[in-house]
């Protein structure tokens, strides 16, 4: 507690006690010789203070024309002495005459906030007079406590990741919040990662800890951060929930009833350094396709070591770009030494001098579980009849099953899915078992579950030059074995 506040409280207590005491001491004097019939204009009524190097002096002039002086230790503010001066009257608005016979002269400043008091006035001995200057005491009000500082937070990070990681244009979303009491939401936006471009959401509200908003119909596909502007205790605030990536995805065509294959249409995947799209593809046991950024390689702080290892071992494939330029899909054996070039929020996953062997060792150490990815690939060829049958089914959107009967070439040894990577070709180059072009069909077999996936390459974007590699993407339809 500040000393000034402590002094105020002490002063009030002393004033109360002394006021009662002086009233008792001088009540009998009121009847003596009619001394107090004309006490004059009590110009000094109030509390006045002055300080020396070691003491504080407080002179109090009460409404009943009694006064006293208290002396305090300036460091501890402890009360050291009380001088009960008694009852006084004011003459000519400049002299205090006490019933005890003492006389003091005073002179007020024009603003009434300063007074000079000369003690021992008119005693016939000027050398005994002492003059002191006092300031009118203004009580320091104890400030109201500041409202508790707190910030709107996600109630459940994992639940938020699930809700915000698969946004659809035009869809409404609800995210649980904590510290929501006294919060009034003024605006909800999605901020494009690595830029300051914000897109306001509609129908935003916060009620009972649930933040709800609607993604605009024209929202571009991409990765964003959730921004919430709000007021709390009258103060404007803004918070960016950058621990959770908001991903706006294309609408996925659901599989036909009874189909024995999972279908994901018009999926876009970026490369190692793409700023907006993930470069890691996973199809979960629940049949959900996820495309994550390189940040997915780093540990999720909400999970333990085993959970993070299992999380990374569930990745089906990872994308990169090579000089040529070419867009490539690969597994651990092919991509591991290149992980130092993959970026999470603009920062490389790790930095070393280029050494493929050591970089691969570093990747194994830093990202346990990733080494378990042994997915293999194959580009189907129209020149092989059994493979052409699969290509036609895929291109005509008629593939309803991946099995020994529906796609026998993938099971009877005709087509060996054995490449650790496949990559796009430049115009004029020849396709091959590990080289695909636009409208090509790529097959992969995931080591995590033995399931087969078939990709129809619909677009190969921004690979005209090596400088475009960071922005490279492919768009594909994916058929995944149930």
In whole angstroms, how far apart are CA 441 and each of 14, 46, 94, 381, 432?
93, 95, 108, 8, 11
> Same domain, yes or no, for 301 and 369?
yes
470 exposure class (CB count in 10 Å sphere: 0-12, 13-18, 19+): middle
Is 147 a residue whose pLDDT tops 70? Answer: no
Q: Smallest Cα–Cα separation from 67: which of 87, 49, 95?
A: 87
Is 5 a residue whose pLDDT tops 50? Answer: no
Dihedral sign of CA atoms 433, 284, 314, 411 in order: negative
- Choose the final residue of a domain: 106, 136, 166: 136
> Same domain, yes or no, for 442 and 309?
yes
> Same domain, yes or no, for 216 and 297?
no
> Same domain, yes or no, for 174 and 85?
no
Neighbours of 427 (CB within 10 A): 6
- Is residue 216 one of the residues assigned to a domain? yes
- Is residue 65 one of the residues assigned to a domain? yes
| pLDDT the model gives residue 221 | 84
- Contact call for residues 291 and 284 (beta carbons, < 8 A): no
- Is residue 147 one of the residues assigned to a domain? no
- Is residue 75 one of the residues assigned to a domain? yes
- Is residue 254 one of the residues assigned to a domain? no
- Is residue 145 one of the residues assigned to a domain? no
Distance CA 187, CA 200 (A): 7
- Contact call for residues 69 and 49 (beta carbons, < 8 A): no
Mean pLDDT of the 317-334 span: 88
> Which DSSP letter does residue 470 get?
G
| pLDDT the model gives residue 373 | 85
In whole angstroms, how far apart are CA 29 and each of 24, 85, 98, 104, 426?
10, 14, 12, 20, 115
Mean pLDDT of the 139-158 span: 80
User: Which range (124-128, 216-220, 289-293, 398-402) has the least confidence?
Assistant: 124-128
Query: For the chain, what percentages of helix, strand and coil (3-state, to nearest 5) are there?
Result: 20, 40, 40
**Which tokens in the block code for residue 211?**
């933040």
Higher pLDDT, 360 or 132: 132
| pLDDT the model gives residue 334 | 86
For the chain, the domain total comes to: 3
| pLDDT the model gives residue 30 | 44
> Same domain, yes or no, for 168 and 72?
no
- List, for residues 224-233, the tens digit of each pLDDT value: 899 999 998 8
Is 136 a residue whose pLDDT tops 60? Answer: yes
Mean pLDDT of the 473-478 span: 93
pLDDT averaged over the chain? 86
Q: Smallest Cα–Cα separation from 289: which of 401, 457, 471, 453?
A: 453
Distance CA 45, CA 70 (A): 16
Give DSSP secondary structure letters for 167-192. Answer: B-TT-EEEEEEES-TTEEEEEEEEEE
Residue showing tokens 């959730």: 226
Confidence of residue 148 (pLDDT cuts 50, 70, 90): low
Helix (H, G, I), strand (E, B) or coil at 195: coil
> Same domain, yes or no, for 74 and 218?
no
Neighbours of 34 (CB within 10 A): 8
Expressed as residue numbers, the domain containing 96 is 3-136
> Same domain, yes or no, for 368 and 302?
yes
> Same domain, yes or no, for 224 and 162?
yes
Distance CA 284, CA 130 (A): 93
- List, for residues 169-183, the tens digit of each pLDDT value: 999 999 999 999 889
Q: What is the CATH number of the domain that holds 10?
A: 2.40.128.360
Mean pLDDT of the 363-370 span: 89
- Choose the final residue of a domain: 78, 107, 136: 136
The alpha carbon of 375 is separated from its chain's Cα centroid by a whole number of angstroms, namely 37
> Same domain, yes or no, for 202 and 235?
yes
Q: Model's pTM, two decimal places?
A: 0.50
Dihedral sign of CA atoms 349, 355, 359, 360 in order: positive
Mean pLDDT of the 109-118 span: 95
| pLDDT the model gives residue 406 | 92
Percent of the chain with pLDDT over 70: 89
What number of CA atoms fall less than 13 Å from residue 33's CA on the CB side? 2
Confidence of residue 378 (pLDDT cuts 50, 70, 90): very high
Confidence of residue 10 (pLDDT cuts 50, 70, 90): low
Distance CA 229, CA 131 (A): 61
User: How are beta strands 473-481 and 289-292 bridged, if at all?
Assistant: unpaired
| pLDDT the model gives residue 12 | 53
Q: Smallest Cα–Cα separation from 246: which of 309, 164, 325?
A: 164
| pLDDT the model gives residue 141 | 76
Helix (H, G, I), strand (E, B) or coil at 357: helix
Distance CA 61, CA 90 (A): 12
| pLDDT the model gives residue 33 | 57
In whole angstroms, how far apart are CA 172 and each of 217, 242, 245?
11, 20, 17
Backbone angles phi, psi at 333, to 5 degrees: -60, -35
| pLDDT the model gives residue 146 | 66
- Choose the final residue of a domain: 193, 224, 248: 248
- Contact call for residues 36 and 87 (beta carbons, < 8 A): yes
Is 16 a residue whose pLDDT tops 50? Answer: no
| pLDDT the model gives residue 4 | 52
> Which DSSP letter does residue 16 get?
H
User: Which range (115-129, 142-156, 432-446) has the least confidence?
Assistant: 142-156
User: Which range (140-144, 342-346, 388-392, 438-442) has the least confidence?
Assistant: 140-144
> Same domain, yes or no, for 236 and 345?
no
| pLDDT the model gives residue 24 | 45
- Contact call for residues 325 and 469 (beta carbons, < 8 A): yes
Long-range own/partner contacts, residues 411-419 (CB < 8 A, 24 or more apart): 414/384, 414/386, 414/387, 415/378, 415/380, 415/384, 415/386, 415/387, 415/443, 416/378, 417/376, 417/377, 417/378, 417/443, 417/444, 417/445, 417/452, 418/376, 418/378, 419/376, 419/377, 419/378
Q: Report the DSSP beta bridge partners of residue 281.
A: 291, 317
Mean pLDDT of the 359-375 span: 88
User: Which range (59-68, 349-358, 393-402, 454-463) has the least confidence?
Assistant: 349-358
Higher pLDDT, 112 or 23: 112
> Same domain, yes or no, for 360 and 409?
yes
Is 381 a residue whose pLDDT tops 90? Answer: yes
> Same domain, yes or no, for 25 and 106?
yes
- List, for residues 383-419, the tens digit of each pLDDT value: 999 999 999 999 999 999 999 999 999 999 899 999 9
| pLDDT the model gives residue 251 | 67
- Is residue 253 one of the residues assigned to a domain? no
Q: What is the CATH number of the domain that holds 233?
A: 2.60.40
Is 8 a residue whose pLDDT tops 70? Answer: no
User: How are beta strands 172-178 and 210-214 bridged, if at all?
Assistant: antiparallel
- Is residue 24 one of the residues assigned to a domain? yes
Mean pLDDT of the 333-347 span: 86
């Amino acid at each position: 507690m500040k000393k000034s506040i402590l002094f105020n409280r002490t002063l009030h207590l002393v004033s109360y006690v002394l006021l009662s005491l002086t009233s008792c001491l001088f009540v009998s004097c009121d009847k003596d010789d009619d001394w107090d019939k004309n006490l004059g204009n009590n110009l000094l009524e109030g509390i006045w203070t002055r300080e020396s190097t070691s003491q504080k002096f407080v002179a109090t002039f009460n409404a009943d024309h009694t006064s006293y002086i208290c002396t305090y230790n300036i460091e501890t503010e402890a009360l050291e002495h009380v001088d009960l001066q008694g009852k006084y009257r004011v003459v000519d608005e400049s002299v205090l005459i006490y019933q005890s016979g003492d006389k003091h002269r005073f002179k007020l400043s024009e603003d009434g906030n300063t007074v000079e008091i000369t003690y021992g006035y008119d005693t016939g001995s000027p050398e005994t007079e002492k003059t002191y200057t006092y300031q009118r005491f203004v009580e320091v009000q104890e400030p109201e406590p500041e409202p508790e500082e707190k910030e709107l937070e996600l109630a459940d990070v994992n639940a938020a990741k699930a809700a915000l990681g698969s946004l659809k244009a035009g869809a409404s979303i609800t995210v649980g919040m904590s510290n929501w009491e006294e919060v009034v939401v003024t605006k909800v936006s999605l901020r494009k990662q690595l830029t300051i471009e914000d897109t306001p959401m509609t129908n935003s509200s916060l009620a009972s800890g649930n933040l709800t908003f609607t993604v605009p119909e024209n929202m571009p596909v991409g990765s964003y951060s959730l921004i919430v502007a709000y007021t709390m205790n009258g103060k404007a605030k803004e918070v960016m929930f950058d621990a959770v990536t908001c991903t706006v995805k294309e609408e996925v065509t659901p599989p036909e009833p009874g189909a024995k294959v999972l279908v994901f249409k018009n999926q876009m995947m970026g490369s190692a350094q793409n700023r907006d799209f993930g470069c890691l593809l996973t199809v979960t046991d629940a049949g959900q396709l996820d495309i994550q950024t390189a940040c997915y390689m780093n540990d999720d702080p909400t999970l333990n070591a085993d959970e993070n290892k299992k999380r990374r071992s569930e990745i089906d494939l990872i994308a990169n770009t090579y000089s040529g330029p070419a867009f490539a899909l690969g597994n651990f054996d092919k991509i591991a030494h290149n992980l130092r070039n993959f970026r999470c929020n603009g920062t490389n996953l790790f930095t070393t001098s280029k050494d493929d062997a050591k970089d691969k060792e570093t990747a194994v150490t830093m990202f346990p579980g990733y080494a378990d990815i042994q997915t293999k690939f194959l580009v189907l060829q129209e020149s092989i009849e059994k493979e052409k049958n699969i290509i036609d089914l895929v291109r005509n959107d008629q593939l309803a099953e991946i099995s020994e009967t529906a796609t026998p070439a993938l099971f009877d040894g005709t087509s060996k899915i054995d490449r650790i990577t496949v990559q796009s070709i430049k115009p004029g180059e020849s396709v091959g078992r590990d080289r695909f072009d636009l409208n090509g069909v790529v097959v992969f077999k995931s080591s995590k579950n033995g399931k087969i996936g078939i990709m129809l390459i619909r677009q190969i974007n921004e690979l005209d030059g090596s400088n475009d590699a960071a922005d490279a993407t492919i768009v594909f339809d994916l058929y995944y074995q149930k």
